[in-house]
Chain A
């Protein structure tokens, strides 16, 4: 990879891409840290138990908050009387919905949540009132002293009911829904001539799947502590992926100017999208802290984490595909009915992503999409790793597999025939820059011995392929703003350590390490000189947060640009010490090194001393703003990204035809993340994504009985264990992105989706059935196998008759 023949031609189409790295870009022989296996800088703290998570923080006089959660799915609150609870000794305050009724939400277009239910409860588990007390036991005792009367309303528990007009005995979940139904967002898009393409297709296939909701199941339960300081500022420590949006929402709901709020993100134990909204409990503890004048802590029980959800949407997806007789895809038709649960969250984006993230990694000349996200009386769905791409991806990759089976084509060859080239533009206006999809497919096919196996393994054993692509940061900002999307500040003083202030949220994915590595690389210094101070809104510049796989790309570029300014200051200092021209200097191995006259090199500390003279600490600020891109139609911004990652997986597995058990044996994975900054981190992300995707396809589901979630705990919500995790062979394909930091792009999310079709297609190869419901638990698989056996017998009987 890394060839750029098409680049000039592409530039003419896409107008002048910025090319910050110039010719240094491709020369990796110079790298000191980039591409080296670098342990995450907080790993030791974590494995020795020293890392400070939110719940580890204790403040003097701290109260405990418990939120009473509605046992009803849909109900009008007629009366709440908290006076008896407030009178309980040890209870300091009780909060109800009307205490902070201002609505908020992560997207400016869906501000539909409140701190606690106001007037009406919209899902089981929604907060109704909250108690701040001296102990958890007291707070729970106070629960029984609150007098509530409600009128239960008919709950909407089925997506289809949410689409139709409400009936006389029903009430809409949200008043603001445009029509007399519970539709939150409808998206319709069409490019090219899909109906013509389907009419003229040599082959068509239709794949439909029922997706249950899945949730993130991060390790650290949700937690927050709010403190109203004596000088009347609100400080909140919160386990968050997007502290900046929390900052905005707190300001809105509490009607406090932003400068009087300070948001601190302690160490976070995983998020995967489940901590990427401003949350009701953050409003609640803040309000209670302001009311009581004492710090207030909340730590969710695990079932509360499940009620908070924001996981992947339950969806009914239907994908039609048209293919020419040469095996070229001519059209894709995607239809998705998406259950959003009680609130908006990121749902408008989800409604778009279910369609627009089907435009790659193949050339799709004609495209049609209808997406409908509805409200229901279930815990809210939101963004989860691979946001919006996963469910539709399974359908389109299975449709392609169905066509290959019908036409007798090899699924690998057909995929290779259809891949997008690098530096191209798609019908919907996406610009593709670096693209390693061919190398990904060829790699996994070669390593798995695909051509000796597909269609040739003994009964019960099968092999399947799935591919995908994913955004590397959203080019458009959620809140329209002229601020950069990411900014990093650096400071170096006479101690020679480099202080990195970043607003990027390390949630376990390693963004602090990434920032340190980028800065250390530019400055030619060892990692041990780096210290990262991430997300304290008083100190760190704004980064929009850890979502849409944007951090390495955007925050990495901001860090790099800041470091380059410091680099120039140190080189200037070396020039003034040595008298040699600045062009001959570069930073490496703790030297400002002179390439032509090594004797003129200056030690880092000497250059620093010179640079600090009469000036004091070196400081720099670097930032990133995505360049303008895309077309002008409504919704054109959804899915636009400065670059995209590409992935291909092959899975070999066994299916026990008598019990329905699927046992994955091996997975060959290839992911194009541009330049690999840190192989340990990237491999970890790919393996983690595979593991998470296996959960969705094999065993995870939000299991409801009517309105009630039955398995809101980590015993019954079955995340795969190590015993179910197969051998994974991960290859990192480096397409070297022209714009990313050192050529890097995302690796945190794109690696999830392709494992689902790789498994589904392998199941077909093993036992000849297409299982249409996820997760593919053994009872579901066995039922499909038995159905097929019955159909086969019928056909045989018909043929012999």
Chain B
């Protein structure tokens, strides 16, 4: 299958990219590494006439523990020594995305802005025609939740977002009206077509800012998928925790991805554990709370009930791994 025809633009600055997006409006898509967009184009998934590439914009490539440019490639994060010593969770998350050849091209911005996925959508045109096109493909009904004619449940499976959530990071955006910054936790919308809460036309992600304080947390990421490589997550869990010298929980953040149409922060579900003393029993309770609070739909691999259960197991195991107070059998 050949790619559909489109006009390719390669601006040299972020401002020029924004201007092009503004000029072509709904007729344009942005592309970074292309590892998500181009397969979707091959399947004729809502492809556009203009494609604006970020590849020529050098200013988007910075990489430090407090700021990561949108065009940073996943392989650069994975191999970064600075991140290894400051925010190993980012290295761990990047290294679990897709496969080595794809990480050579895939970028941080592309991973954050990944389109949502669904068995009924990410298919060849003939396949989708056979089922009647669903909401996300300009049909009038969802095929996963047939009662829905106005809500798409496609799954968000970007992984870095979960890690950025537990680190309290924010996205730096540049648009026709200038620059702004939004907390990752405020950015996404739990709807497979809308996807973002307040994304303004022509806006691009220029980078991610991570607070200094994040480096004080013990943070890790764990991914559920059938094969250890290539597969998108059927669940991703990020946990960041800090206990004091008396093993009392000072900070606790949990986020999941690949369960709903956005990366989900479970902070409000686990806040009640802050102040409690870390122990295996508490780790198990936190896991249970995450399990109970999780939702998932049947549109990516593995049964939703199983995925929810694993959200709990993975959370508990991460806590045990990150802080010995959770794993110490003597309590």
Chain A stretch 707-766: residues in CB contact (< 8 A) with chain B: 707-710, 712, 715-716, 718, 720-724
Residues of A within 8 A of B99 (CB): 721
- Judging by beta carbons under 8 Å apart, are B230 and A708 in contact? no
Checking A137, A660, A715 against B2 with a beta-carbon cut-off of 8 angstroms, the contacting residue is A137
Residues of B within 8 A of A2 (CB): none
Interface residues on A, range: 20 to 34
Checking B119, B224, B310 against A710 with a beta-carbon cut-off of 8 angstroms, the contacting residue is B119
| B82 beta carbon closer than 8 Å to chain A | no
Chain A stretch 122-179: residues in CB contact (< 8 A) with chain B: 124-125, 136-137
- Judging by beta carbons under 8 Å apart, are A71 and B226 in contact? no
- Judging by beta carbons under 8 Å apart, are A715 and B124 in contact? no
- Judging by beta carbons under 8 Å apart, are B230 and A715 in contact? yes
| B45 beta carbon closer than 8 Å to chain A | no
| A590 beta carbon closer than 8 Å to chain B | no
0/1 interface trace, chain A 81-104, chain B, CB 8 Å (1 if under): 000000000000000000000000
Bound CA–CA A577/B316 (angstroms): 86
Return B258 CB to nearest CB of chain A, in Å: 14
- Judging by beta carbons under 8 Å apart, are A712 and B227 in contact? no
Bound CA–CA A660/B310 (angstroms): 10
- Judging by beta carbons under 8 Å apart, are B130 and A71 in contact? yes
| A568 beta carbon closer than 8 Å to chain B | no
Residues of A within 8 A of B2 (CB): 136-137
Chain A stretch 499-533: residues in CB contact (< 8 A) with chain B: none
- Judging by beta carbons under 8 Å apart, are A301 and B1 in contact? yes
Chain A stretch 776-801: residues in CB contact (< 8 A) with chain B: 777-779, 782-783
Total number of B residues with any Cβ neighbor in A under 8 Å: 27
- Judging by beta carbons under 8 Å apart, are B228 and A721 in contact? yes
- Judging by beta carbons under 8 Å apart, are A718 and B227 in contact? yes
- Judging by beta carbons under 8 Å apart, are B306 and A779 in contact? yes
Bound CA–CA A795/B123 (angstroms): 47
| B5 beta carbon closer than 8 Å to chain A | yes
0/1 interface trace, chain B 222-234, chain A, CB 8 Å (1 if under): 0010111111100
Bound CA–CA A778/B223 (angstroms): 14
| B302 beta carbon closer than 8 Å to chain A | yes
Chain A stretch 303-360: residues in CB contact (< 8 A) with chain B: 303
- Judging by beta carbons under 8 Å apart, are B301 and A723 in contact? no
| A708-B131, A716-B301 known; A659 vs B313 contact (CB < 8 Å) | yes
Residues of B within 8 A of A71 (CB): 126-127, 129-130
- Judging by beta carbons under 8 Å apart, are A778 and B230 in contact? no
0/1 interface trace, chain B 202-245, chain A, CB 8 Å (1 if under): 00000000000000000000001011111110000000000000
Residues of A within 8 A of B302 (CB): 777-779
- Judging by beta carbons under 8 Å apart, are B231 and A718 in contact? yes
Bound CA–CA A399/B230 (angstroms): 36
Return B321 CB to nearest CB of chain A, in Å: 14
Bound CA–CA A72/B228 (angstroms): 35
Residues of B within 8 A of A660 (CB): 306
Checking B130, B231, B310 against A715 with a beta-carbon cut-off of 8 angstroms, the contacting residue is B231
Bound CA–CA A724/B99 (angstroms): 13
Checking B123, B227, B303, B313 against A720 with a beta-carbon cut-off of 8 angstroms, the contacting residue is B227
- Judging by beta carbons under 8 Å apart, are B227 and A69 in contact? no
| A699 beta carbon closer than 8 Å to chain B | yes
- Judging by beta carbons under 8 Å apart, are A724 and B119 in contact? no
| A193 beta carbon closer than 8 Å to chain B | no
- Judging by beta carbons under 8 Å apart, are B310 and A659 in contact? yes
| A723-B228, A724-B228, A778-B306 known; A705 vs B119 contact (CB < 8 Å) | yes
Checking B126, B226, B310 against A718 with a beta-carbon cut-off of 8 angstroms, the contacting residue is B226
- Judging by beta carbons under 8 Å apart, are B229 and A723 in contact? yes
Residue of B nearest to A715 (CB): B230
Bound CA–CA A723/B301 (angstroms): 19
| A658 beta carbon closer than 8 Å to chain B | yes
Bound CA–CA A137/B150 (angstroms): 33
- Judging by beta carbons under 8 Å apart, are A712 and B127 in contact? yes
Checking A68, A125, A707, A724 against B227 with a beta-carbon cut-off of 8 angstroms, the contacting residue is A724
Residues of A within 8 A of B232 (CB): 715
Bound CA–CA A659/B306 (angstroms): 9
0/1 interface trace, chain B 1-14, chain A, CB 8 Å (1 if under): 11001000000000
- Judging by beta carbons under 8 Å apart, are A303 and B119 in contact? no
Return B261 CB to nearest CB of chain A, in Å: 19
Bound CA–CA A699/B234 (angstroms): 14
Return A222 CB to nearest CB of chain B, in Å: 14
Residues of A within 8 A of B313 (CB): 658-659
Bound CA–CA A124/B130 (angstroms): 8
Residue of A nearest to B127 (CB): A708
Bound CA–CA A709/B302 (angstroms): 16
Residues of A within 8 A of B130 (CB): 71-72, 124, 707-708
Bound CA–CA A137/B124 (angstroms): 15
Bound CA–CA A626/B224 (angstroms): 52
Residues of B within 8 A of A659 (CB): 224, 310, 313
Residue of B nearest to A705 (CB): B119
Residues of B within 8 A of A715 (CB): 230-232
Chain B stretch 114-130: residues in CB contact (< 8 A) with chain A: 119, 123-124, 126-127, 129-130
Residues of B within 8 A of A705 (CB): 119
Return B236 CB to nearest CB of chain A, in Å: 14
By CB atoms of chain A within 10 A, which of B227, B231, B309 has the most?
B227
- Judging by beta carbons under 8 Å apart, are B119 and A699 in contact? no
Chain B stretch 278-331: residues in CB contact (< 8 A) with chain A: 301-303, 306, 309-310, 313
Residue of A nearest to B314 (CB): A659
Bound CA–CA A125/B130 (angstroms): 10
Residues of A within 8 A of B127 (CB): 71, 303, 708-709, 712
Residue of B nearest to A706 (CB): B131
Return A119 CB to nearest CB of chain B, in Å: 20
- Judging by beta carbons under 8 Å apart, are B227 and A721 in contact? yes
Return B303 CB to nearest CB of chain A, in Å: 5
Residues of B within 8 A of A658 (CB): 313
Bound CA–CA A658/B313 (angstroms): 8
Bound CA–CA A705/B144 (angstroms): 11
Chain A stretch 645-670: residues in CB contact (< 8 A) with chain B: 658-660
Residue of A nearest to B304 (CB): A779
Residue of B nearest to A783 (CB): B306
- Judging by beta carbons under 8 Å apart, are A699 and B129 in contact? no
Bound CA–CA A779/B301 (angstroms): 10
Bound CA–CA A303/B129 (angstroms): 14
Bound CA–CA A69/B303 (angstroms): 30
Residues of A within 8 A of B124 (CB): 301, 303, 712
Residues of B within 8 A of A125 (CB): 126
By CB atoms of chain B within 10 A, which of A124, A723, A779 has the most?
A779
- Judging by beta carbons under 8 Å apart, are B226 and A723 in contact? no
Return A752 CB to nearest CB of chain B, in Å: 19
Return A699 CB to nearest CB of chain B, in Å: 5
- Judging by beta carbons under 8 Å apart, are A778 and B228 in contact? no
Residue of A nearest to B2 (CB): A136
Bound CA–CA A699/B303 (angstroms): 14
- Judging by beta carbons under 8 Å apart, are B226 and A777 in contact? yes
Residues of B within 8 A of A710 (CB): 119, 123
Residues of B within 8 A of A709 (CB): 127
Bound CA–CA A4/B306 (angstroms): 57
Return B224 CB to nearest CB of chain A, in Å: 8
- Judging by beta carbons under 8 Å apart, are B5 and A137 in contact? yes
0/1 interface trace, chain B 89-108, chain A, CB 8 Å (1 if under): 00000000001000000000
Residue of B nearest to A66 (CB): B1
Residue of B nearest to A786 (CB): B309
Bound CA–CA A721/B309 (angstroms): 26
0/1 interface trace, chain B 126-141, chain A, CB 8 Å (1 if under): 1101110000000000
Bound CA–CA A705/B231 (angstroms): 20
Bound CA–CA A778/B124 (angstroms): 28
- Judging by beta carbons under 8 Å apart, are A782 and B227 in contact? no
A-B pairs with beta carbons under 8 Å apart, 9 shown: A659-B310, A708-B130, A720-B227, A721-B227, A723-B228, A777-B302, A778-B226, A779-B302, A779-B303
Q: Which 3 A-B pairs have the closest CB atoms?
A: A71-B130, A723-B228, A779-B306
Given A301-B124, A778-B226: 8 more A-B contacts, CB < 8 Å: A68-B126, A72-B130, A705-B119, A709-B127, A712-B124, A718-B227, A718-B231, A724-B228
